[in-house]
Structure 1
Amino acid sequence: MTDDPRFPDRREALKCMAWAGTGALYALNAGIARSAILDGAGPGAASAVDFTFLQLSDSHIGFDKAANPDARATYREAIAKVKALTVKPDFIIHTGDITQLSRDDEFDYADQILSETGIPAFFVPGEHDMVDEGGGKAFLSRYGKGSKGAGWFSFDHQGVHFVALVNVADLKPGGMGNLGAAQLAWLKADLAGRSASTPIVVFAHIPLWTVYEQWGWGTGDAQAALALLKRFGSVTILNGHIHQIVQKVEGRMTFHTARSTAFPQPAPGTAPSPGPQVVPPGQLRSMLGITDVTFRRGDQRIALIDSTLA
């Protein structure tokens, strides 16, 4: 999937992003950075950017516990915002935990609602997408065409190279994510020969840096992957899993985690363990709000503006 025919390589520049708690909308421009806010990109936005794309994460279709008795409803709200955009993103990436239990009816529902956008989508699995008897076969049968191993792949779009990694295969409860030797060897080959000026966007489910080791919020062999990426001038790494926005800048690599569309989790170390966080019903959508993030290539300062679903 390195050369996806839907996305011809045209211009090389990752410039600006706008994020959302129910999803994250990214605007990429070869000139001045512009924001494209999920709540409604204006009519002039199309001429200001090369393209946009959207991140969704941790939809947990099928979840119905106290933290959110109807995760399908909040997922529908997120997709409704996407459908209402004036400027449609070129594609969507979903950074895992599409479902709660890897059941066919859960995948079917997620696909049905997402298909209403008419926007192409790319997926990496979360651990909840790999709990079927086949250990992820249900996920791969739907989303793994052309991928390698447990579902990793790459593609190019308008001069930006996108890399989808899988760090939830054979995940132990509470354990750190793992990429494994085969995937790291593939990543090395995938990046070889690419110009250091090529903007890189990496997306995976579990963060590729250690947010909180005690809860398994990190990837044990991430440093091996980051060592392969450090020669590039602009690397953006997008993750889910922890259901909250955490960010980090390390050299020329910028890391972001996205909120869930289903339920919040506690901040690292503020509870006995991770898991669905119960908040008063009137506060739930304030925990699933929209965050606008502006990223300028070469600038480590990232501006965050939160607006909620409430």
Structure 2
Amino acid sequence: MRRERTGGTHDEPGVPGAGAGMTRRQLARHGAWFGAAVALTVAGGEVISQVSDGRATGQAAAADQATLRFVQVSDSHIGFHGTANPDVTGSFARAIAQVNALPDRPDFVMHTGDLTHLSTPAQFDQVSQMMRGLRAGAVHTVPGEHDSVDDGGRAYRAAFGAGSRGDGWYSFDVKGVHVLALVNTLSLEKLGHLGADQLAFIRQDVAGLSSDTPILVFSHIPLFAMYPTWGWGTDDAVQALSYLRRFSSVTCLNGHVHQLFSRTEGNVVFRSATTTAYPLPKPGDGPAPTPQTLPAGQLGAALGIREVSYLPRDPRPAITDLELA
């Protein structure tokens, strides 16, 4: 079952103060009109025809090559043992299989943290081995707080930090989109925290970019105040986002909260992802965000992966959240 969230600004039902949603769907990314002679592809808002035998026109083929496609997975919590999900390894394996079965090979997969549950060497080794099975152009990660238990993230960086800076942050460019991968799970007091060094990195990193460059930001803890009482926010996010306000399109994707949630603030769209491990309660539903054990047969609907596309000449991503198959 697919949970469609297209256009990048479609809000979760019942979220107060969220921005208005977009309803424009991405036509024909992997669909055809049966019984007709033509299939359709959308590229940058333009409808491009394809002949019925599946041979794309040169324009459509070029647009397809220019389209950025990636997948977000989050909160696999390898090493967790509990009734909320007795087999998190099996769930994560299903998520990997689901990514590999997508009709279009993603340019990259991003895991937005809590790869492990207790940061042990065995858990890092297991999740690393599993992620090697992903069929994608590249695999990226940011750490969660469960990936830095008692060691300040050293084991995480040894396993996944190659090429990163500071405590594990980095950036890269892909198909016209500038990507920031941030770390806000160290130096935790009540909320997530980026710190002065990382803030300086963000400011310097985007300084030379054109304001029409689409900006994509990954973090584990939300960069907006989703529910500060439970630590679901980042205390210096406002400063970080001030460096991004001049850009026409900024999309911030996070994990941590184990549920879909969206908010729009000006040019910035925030989207929280679900988990491959176990659900957490809705904000304020109970005294603390503890793993929730669902009735038999309902766990799969609470877990999932996220598929995202940036079409040529369109800075707004199309986002589709998929339940775990």
Q: Shorter-chain-normalised TM-score: which range?
A: 0.7 to 0.9
| Alignment match of 2:258 (pick from 238, 243, 267) | 243
Q: Does 1:219 align with 2:230?
A: no
* One-letter amino acid of the counterpart of residue 196, structure 2: A
Q: Which residue does the alignment assign to 1:50?
A: 67
Q: Which residue does the alignment assign to 1:121?
A: 139
| Alignment match of 1:286 (pick from 272, 293, 301) | 301
CA gap 1:249/1:32 in 2 versus in 1, 3 angstroms: same
- Alignment map for 1:1-310 (pairs within 5 Å): 31-32=44-45, 48=64, 50-119=67-136, 120-132=138-150, 134-172=151-189, 175-289=190-304, 308-309=323-324
| Distance of 1:66 and 1:181 partners within structure 2 | 40
Residue 55 (structure 1) shift: 0.6
Contact 2:113 2:144 in 1 (8 A): yes
Residue 118 (structure 1) shift: 3.6
Q: Which runs of 5+ in 2 are unaligned?
A: 1-5, 11-25, 30-41, 48-53
* One-letter amino acid of the counterpart of residue 212, structure 1: Y
| Distance of 2:140 and 2:290 partners within structure 1 | 26
Q: Deviations over 1:9-63 (max 9, x none)?
A: xxxxxx967x9xxxxxx99x861289xxxxxxx9989754622111111000011
- The alignment of Structure 1 onto Structure 2 pairs a total of residues equal to 277
Residue 288 (structure 1) shift: 1.1
Residue 199 (structure 1) shift: 0.6
Displacement over 6 Å in runs of 4+: 42-46, 291-296, 302-306
TM-score calculated relative to the size of structure 2 = 0.77
| Distance of 2:182 and 2:81 partners within structure 1 | 29
- Decide which structure has greater strand share: 2
Q: Deviations over 1:239-279 (max 9, x none)?
A: 00000011011111111010010000000001111121111
* One-letter amino acid of the counterpart of residue 105, structure 1: A
3-state SS in 2 of match to 1:229: coil
Contact 1:33 1:295 in 2 (8 A): no
| Distance of 1:287 and 1:107 partners within structure 2 | 24
| Distance of 1:155 and 1:284 partners within structure 2 | 35
| Distance of 2:232 and 2:133 partners within structure 1 | 33
CA gap 1:183/1:290 in 2 versus in 1, 3 angstroms: closer
Q: Look at both structures and tell me which one has the larger radius of gyration over its CA atoms.
A: 2
Residue 281 (structure 1) shift: 2.7
Q: Which runs of 5+ in 1 are unaligned?
A: 1-14, 20-25, 35-41
| Distance of 2:7 and 2:128 partners within structure 1 | 28
Q: Deviations over 1:98-121 (max 9, x none)?
A: 000011111111111211124221
Tell me which moved more, 281-290 or 177-186. Answer: 281-290
TM-score calculated relative to the size of structure 1 = 0.81
Contact 2:273 2:306 in 1 (8 A): no
